Amino acid sequence: PRRTRSRRGVEETAVPAREGRSAMSKFNRLLLVIKQTAFASYTAREELAQAAGRTLRFDHARMARLRERHDTHMFQVERITKLLEQRGAATTSVMRDDVTPEHVADADLVVALGGDGTTLIASHKLVGEFGATPLVGVNTDRASPSDLATLYRSSEPFDMRRSTGHLCACTSDNVETVLDDIVFGRAEPTRLTRARVDVAGVVLPPVLNDVLIAHPSPGAVSRYSVHVPRKDEKDEGSDGSAASGDGAENKASRDSRGPLWFHVRSSGLRVCTAAGSTAAMRSAGGEPMHYSSRELQFMDREPIYFDHAPPPSSGHGFYSEHETMRFRWNSRAGTVFLDGAHVTHDVQMGDLVSISADAPQLRLFTSPWFRRNHSNMWPDRREAMKHANEGTEDGLLGDRDWIVDGS
């Protein structure tokens, strides 16, 4: 293959198509978005410190373990790149922090090599005219069932747990089979709802998992006032205009009363999509959602209702795909965290924030485990699902396929 380096951190590969295979390929221009490992980041910091005449050394034992994971990841990146080249695909490789719209514009399929974090970061680039470009995540350093069952405690104070790859379609174990199905058109992507977040008129990258709005200090109170539609506002569109059948007299009456606001003091507000409902939302006591749901789920984190008995609100609920959550930020400072800590946006007192399901859907290739975990039957039908017949249409593979079994 002919390799050319066109940008810093970008490697392009032009591969002669194999006779008889390129005509079968559904995707021929692939963008490989690659994770930078923790080992690479720590090593870079040590080198910068050395160049500045300072000494910076991280724990030797931990660095040795991170080096093993780094080597595993890079081995899989090289292996997967060769697999794709052998199938006649032209690939462009770029580190995930260096991805630009130009990279995405040249691709008909984006492949995230790393884990859930890399897949989420890559999804933020698939917006606007590139929103229809499909994405597939590959977990290059998978956590085995044994890892998840045993690495919660160890004889050393190092947390070496790996990503479960919840959003990834495959791991290094089955990557060849899954990528063949994708590249040659035997698999179809899952359409997933993403959340649109507007802060003071600025549209942020679409959210695949969840968005957290909170004071930048975890010890500070987050204050915000949520707009609560009155009963006669339920049928209004997202732009606030009255629906058909709502007369001018009722509209004037409603305007004279003014909006209704619910004032909240808490540790922040989290809103998730169906795809993110089994992540932090589930850990906080939220409900798992079917992956095809267009609703958004919200939860006030540790709301303060000390002066109300009973509390005026549960602080948890859902917005339909046609509804928009609107609130005013009342703390002096705040931060919007999009799909984790990598992408953030500052919010200040008086900013109006809106969150809706009005972002373009993401075409993500998902695993059978992902679709089962968002089946709307968890956890009340978990036992029935675990003992279902193997090879059923629903893809229920029985007890062995549950990554974490609390029993």
Closest to 239 (Cα-Cα) out of 269, 198, 194, 293: 198
The lowest-confidence range among 60-69, 121-130, 360-369 is 60-69
Tell me the angle at which helices 175-183 and 60-86 cross, rounded to the nearest 10 degrees: 40
305-316 residue pLDDT tens: 766 666 677 899
pLDDT higher than threshold 70 for residue 242? no
pLDDT given at position 62: 81
Which helix or strand (DSSP H or E) is residue 38 part of?
helix 38-51
Least confidently predicted of 41-50, 79-88, 95-104, 342-351: 41-50
Tokens of 377: 């039957």
Q: Are 3 and 162 in contact (CB under 8 A)?
A: no
By DSSP bridging, strand 109-114 and strand 135-139 are parallel
CA distance 202 to 181: 39
pLDDT at 234: 56
Which of residues 173 and 240 earns the better pLDDT score?
173
pLDDT of residue 158: 66
- pLDDT for position 46: 86
- Residue 403: pLDDT band (50, 70, 90) is very low
Q: What are phi and psi of 325, to 5 degrees?
A: -80, 130
Task: Please report the pLDDT score of residue 243 as a whole number.
Answer: 30
Q: What integer is the mean pLDDT of 84-113?
A: 93
Q: What is the mean pLDDT of residues 397-403?
A: 36
Structure tokens belonging to residue 287: 């409900």
Give the least confident one: 59-63, 64-68, 107-111, 187-191.
Answer: 59-63
Q: In this predicted structure, what is the pLDDT of residue 115?
A: 92
Residue 114 identity: G
- pLDDT in the model for residue 173: 87
Out of 7-11, 168-172, 291-295, pick the least confident. Answer: 7-11
Taking 50 as the threshold, does the pLDDT of residue 2 lie above it?
no
What is the predicted pLDDT for the residue at 22?
A: 46
- Find, among 306, 297, 298, 288, the residue nearest to 268 by Cα: 298
> What pLDDT sits at residue 229?
78
Tokens of 370: 């992902």
Mean pLDDT of 205-229: 95
Q: What is the pLDDT of residue 160?
A: 62
Quick: pLDDT tens for 326-352.
Answer: 999 999 999 999 999 989 999 999 999
Q: What pLDDT score was predicted for residue 390?
A: 46
Comparing 4-8, 89-93, 324-328, the range with the smallest average pLDDT is 4-8
Q: Which of 51-60, 65-74, 112-121, 202-211 has the lowest mean pLDDT?
A: 51-60
User: Residue 253: exposed, middle, or buried by beta-carbon count in 10 A (0-12, 13-18, 19+)?
Assistant: exposed
Q: Reply yes or no on whether the pLDDT at 153 is more than 60.
A: yes
Higher-pLDDT residue of 11 and 325 is: 325
User: Mean pLDDT for the chain?
Assistant: 81
Which range (228-237, 355-364, 390-399) has the least confidence?
390-399
Cβ distance 7 to 31 under 8 Å?
no
Reply yes or no on whether the pLDDT at 63 is more than 60. Answer: yes
pLDDT single digits (tens) 159-213 = 666 677 899 999 888 999 999 999 999 999 999 999 999 999 999 999 999 999 9
Least confident of 138-147, 295-304, 361-370: 138-147
